[in-house]
Amino acid sequence: MKSGKRVLSILIVSLLLIISVGLVSAALKDWFGFGNKDKNLEGELPAAFNIGIQMTNQAPTITSWTIPTGSPNGDCTPTALGNFVVTVTDPDGGADLSDGVVTLKLTNTHASLGLQTRTAVSCAAGTPVGNTLAFTCSGISMNYWDDGGVGDPWTVTVTATDGTNAATNSPKTSVAVGDANYPHFVYTSLIQAQVKDANDADYVSGDDTISWLNIQTTSADVVANGPPNPTYLTVRTCGNGAITTTSLTGKKLDCTACSPATDICPNSFSVRAAVSPCNVGDVLNWPAAAKAIAASGLAVSTGSDITKPFYFCLEDINPVPSAPDTCLDPITVGTYDSTGNAWDITFAFILSLIKFIKFNFEFSILLSVIALRTKKRKIKKKLKTKNKLLSHKELSSLDLILKKKYNVSVKELLEEAKEKQIREEFEIKSEIKVPLNIFNKKLSPAEVLCKYLKENKKMKFSEIAKLINRDERSVWTNYNNAIKKMREKIKEDKKIDKTILVSINIFSNRKLSILESVVKYLKEKAYRNCEIAELLGKDQRNIYTIYNRAKKKLE
User: Of 83-87, 394-398, 429-433, 531-535, which one has max mean pLDDT?
Assistant: 83-87
- In this prediction, residue 68 carries a pLDDT of 96
Topology match between the domains 61-173 and 193-365 = yes
In the predicted model, is pLDDT for residue 93 greater than 60?
A: yes
Amino acid 514 reads I
- In this prediction, residue 394 carries a pLDDT of 63
3-state secondary structure 418-485: HHHHHHHHHHHHCCCEEEHHHHCCCCCHHHHHHHHHHHHCCCCHHHHHHHHCCCHHHHHHHHHHHHHH
Determine the topology of domain 193-365 in CATH: Immunoglobulin-like (2.60.40)
Q: Report CA torsion sign: 504, 418, 361, 387.
A: positive
Distances (CA, A) of 354 to 65, 79, 271, 283, 346: 34, 21, 20, 22, 7
- Which among 517, 550, 515 is positioned nearest to 441, based on CA atoms? 515
DSSP 66-95: E-------SSSS-EE---EEEEEE-TT-GG
Q: What number is the average pLDDT over the span 421-428?
A: 55
Cβ neighbours for 322, distance < 8 A, ≥ 6 positions apart: 267, 285, 286
**Which pLDDT band, with edges at 50, 70 and 90, does 472 fall under?**
confident
- In this prediction, residue 343 carries a pLDDT of 86
Q: Report CA torsion sign: 450, 454, 455, 458.
A: positive
Q: Reduced to 3 states, what is the DSSP secondary structure of residue 288?
A: coil
- In this prediction, residue 486 carries a pLDDT of 87
For helices 392-406 and 410-429, give the axis angle rounded to 10 degrees: 90
- In this prediction, residue 306 carries a pLDDT of 92
- In this prediction, residue 78 carries a pLDDT of 94
**Which pLDDT band, with edges at 50, 70 and 90, does 358 fall under?**
low
8 Å CB contact between 310 and 273: yes
Kindly report which listed range (156-160, 414-418, 430-434, 440-444) carries the lowest average pLDDT score.
414-418
In the predicted model, is pLDDT for residue 500 greater than 80?
A: no
In the predicted model, is pLDDT for residue 281 greater than 60?
A: yes
Q: Reduced to 3 states, what is the DSSP secondary structure of residue 390?
A: coil
8 Å CB contact between 529 and 545: no
**Which pLDDT band, with edges at 50, 70 and 90, does 25 fall under?**
low
- Which among 286, 298, 282 is positioned nearest to 242, based on CA atoms? 298
Kindly report which listed range (251-260, 275-284, 432-441) carries the lowest average pLDDT score.
251-260
**Which pLDDT band, with edges at 50, 70 and 90, does 350 fall under?**
very low
**204-234 per-position pLDDT tens digit:** 766 788 888 778 777 888 898 877 778 889 9
User: How much of the chain exceeds pLDDT 90, in percent?
Assistant: 22
Kindly report which listed range (106-115, 126-135, 279-288, 349-358) carries the lowest average pLDDT score.
349-358
Cα dihedral 285→287→288→292 (10° resolution): -20
Kindly report which listed range (148-157, 357-366, 492-501) carries the lowest average pLDDT score.
357-366
Paired sense of beta strands 243-249 and 209-215, if any: unpaired
**Which pLDDT band, with edges at 50, 70 and 90, does 362 fall under?**
low
The mean pLDDT value of the chain amounts to: 78
Element (H, E) at 205: none
8 Å CB contact between 370 and 413: yes
- In this prediction, residue 379 carries a pLDDT of 33
Count CA within 13 A, CB hemisphere, residue 495. 0
* Residue bearing the bigger pLDDT, 143 or 417: 143
Q: Reduced to 3 states, what is the DSSP secondary structure of residue 516?
A: helix
8 Å CB contact between 334 and 257: yes
**155-190 per-position pLDDT tens digit:** 999 999 887 655 567 789 999 999 999 999 999 988
CATH code of the domain occupying 61-173 = 2.60.40
Kindly report which listed range (3-12, 43-52, 139-148, 539-548) carries the lowest average pLDDT score.
43-52
pTM of the full predicted structure? 0.56
Cβ neighbours for 539, distance < 8 A, ≥ 6 positions apart: 533
* Residue bearing the bigger pLDDT, 60 or 376: 60
**Which pLDDT band, with edges at 50, 70 and 90, does 354 fall under?**
very low
8 Å CB contact between 454 and 446: no
Element (H, E) at 156: strand 155-161
8 Å CB contact between 136 and 124: yes
For helices 540-554 and 514-524, give the axis angle rounded to 10 degrees: 100
- In this prediction, residue 373 carries a pLDDT of 33
- In this prediction, residue 83 carries a pLDDT of 97
Q: Where are the domains of the chain?
A: 61-173, 193-365, 369-429, 433-554
In the predicted model, is pLDDT for residue 374 greater than 60?
A: no
